[in-house]
């Protein structure tokens, strides 16, 4: 096994932005109102949420605008989730006054600026926000930027599925999403007690896949690439199943059908609850 290192994603934002712009410009009026995997949000709402995330990055991180109510971000995990949900909801309500053309025009402006912001950051320096779903109170820029990459990728995936467009499922796009999301096991398994060395091996098949292990250590659970000789449990799935699981887009019955698991049932059950997003 080898430790997970830095996952560089800043260079991917310009291409991801171009893919999004090409996708959005090809949508029909009907496409904008189609339902998505994002709960009650339509395609239009998901596009507006993407714009919201970019506006926040530019305003709060680049331009240092104070964030009203930001004290709630330090009120524990549940408080942070509630704060973010309220931010999301208020923006979506207001953004329903924007036409698809206005949303596209705004994204055309903000997308390159966000990419420029991320490209200029020192990957090893302290990030703007900690990645709470990775159980971190402070995160380096590379992980904070990586979290933003997973956000933009998976919301674009929701749009693509809703309108029948091909997924960005090649290794260049999806492997970083998966390797970053694996950090969620550190929080997801935090209160699960097991003997040091106990391991769950996760094998994701396909071009974007890999083999990772979640291992109990004295200081907590750690994630590695590769596998030990005698793991306590194994889970096999394809890359499509993996991203849907991590981003809360796979109902539990379907997850059980699509994931082939064996070994310690407690580890397998815990696997089904791990999310690489704030929920």
Identify the CATH number of the domain in which residue 233 sits.
3.30.1050.10
Q: Are residues 96 and 204 in the same domain?
A: no
E strand intervals along the chain:
2-3, 199-205, 210-217, 220-225, 233-238, 260-263
Query: Residue 2: inside a domain, yes or no?
Result: no
Q: Is the pTM of this model over 0.85?
A: yes
pLDDT at 61: 96
Same domain? 143 vs 195: no
Determine the average pLDDT of the residues in 243-249: 96
pLDDT at res. 279:
81
Q: How far is residue 125's CA from residue 39's CA, in Å, rounded to a whole number?
A: 35
Is there a single domain that holds both residue 155 and residue 203?
A: no
Residues 219 and 152 in one domain: no
The two beta strands, 220-225 and 260-263, are unpaired
Mean pLDDT of 4-20: 97
Q: Which of 38-52, 67-81, 148-162, 210-224 has the lowest mean pLDDT?
A: 67-81
127: DSSP letter: P
Task: Identify whether residues 113 and 247 lie together within a single domain.
Answer: no
Tell whether 155 and 54 lie within a shared domain: yes
Q: Is residue 76 part of a domain?
A: yes
The residues with which 200 forms a beta bridge, in sequence order, are 214, 233
% of the chain beyond a pLDDT of 90: 92
Residue 25 falls inside a structural domain: yes
CATH number, domain of 114, equals: 1.20.120.450
- Domains in the chain: how many in total? 2
| CB 209 within 8 Å of CB 174 | no
The answer to whether residue 71 scores a pLDDT higher than 80 is: no
Clarify whether residues 80 and 191 are in a common domain. no
Spatial separation of the C-alpha atoms in residues 78 and 136, rounded to whole Å: 15
pLDDT in tens, 184-218: 999 999 999 999 999 999 999 999 999 999 999 99
Q: Sorting pLDDT into bands at 50, 70 and 90, what band is 229?
A: very high
Spatial distance between the Cα atoms of 159 and 212, rounded to a whole number of angstroms: 28
Q: Are 201 and 153 within one domain? A: no
What letter does residue 111 receive in the DSSP assignment?
Answer: H
Is 122 found in the same domain as 31?
yes
Q: For 3-7, 18-22, 200-204, which range has the lowest pLDDT when averaged over its residues? A: 3-7
Q: Give the pLDDT of residue 70.
A: 58
Q: Could you tell me the maximum CA-CA distance found in the chain, to the nearest angstrom?
A: 57
155 lies in the same domain as 228 = no
Looking up tokens 């690439």, which residue turns up?
Answer: 225
Where in the sequence is the domain holding 86, given as residue range(s)?
A: 8-126+138-168
Give the per-residue pLDDT at 267. Answer: 97
Tell me the pLDDT tens digit for each residue of 115-135: 999 999 999 999 999 999 999
Half-sphere exposure of 118 (CA within 13 A, CB side): 23
Distance CA 274, CA 189 (A): 8
Residue 14 lies in a domain: yes
The pLDDT assigned to 250 comes to: 95
3-state secondary structure of 202: strand
- Confidence check: pLDDT of 243 > 60: yes
Do 157 and 235 share a domain, yes or no?
Answer: no
Same-domain status, 146 and 243: no
């Amino acid at each position: 096994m080898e430790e997970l290192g830095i996952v560089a994603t800043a260079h991917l934002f310009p291409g991801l932005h171009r893919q999004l712009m090409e996708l959005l410009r090809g949508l029909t009026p009907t496409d904008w109102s189609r339902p998505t995997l994002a709960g009650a949000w339509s395609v239009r709402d998901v596009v507006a949420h993407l714009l919201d995330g970019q506006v926040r990055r530019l305003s709060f991180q680049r331009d240092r605008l104070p964030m009203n109510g930001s004290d709630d971000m330090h009120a524990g995990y549940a408080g942070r989730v509630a704060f973010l949900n309220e931010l999301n909801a208020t923006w979506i309500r207001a953004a329903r006054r924007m036409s698809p053309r206005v949303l596209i025009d705004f994204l055309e402006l903000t997308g390159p600026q966000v990419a420029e912001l991320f490209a200029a950051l020192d990957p090893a320096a302290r990030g703007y926000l900690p990645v709470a779903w990775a159980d971190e109170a402070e995160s380096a820029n590379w992980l904070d930027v990586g979290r933003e990459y997973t956000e933009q990728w998976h919301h674009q995936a929701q749009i693509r599925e809703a309108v029948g467009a091909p997924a960005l499922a090649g290794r260049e796009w999806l492997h970083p999403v998966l390797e970053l999301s694996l950090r969620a096991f550190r929080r997801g398994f935090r209160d699960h007690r097991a003997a040091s060395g106990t391991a769950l091996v996760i094998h994701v098949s396909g071009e974007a896949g890999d083999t990772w292990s979640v291992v109990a250590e004295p200081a907590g659970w750690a994630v590695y690439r590769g596998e030990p000789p005698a793991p306590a449990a194994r889970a096999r799935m394809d890359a499509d199943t993996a991203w849907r699981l991590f981003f809360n887009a796979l109902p539990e019955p379907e997850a059980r059908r699509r994931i082939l698991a064996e070994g310690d049932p407690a580890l397998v059950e815990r696997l089904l609850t791990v999310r690489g997003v704030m929920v």
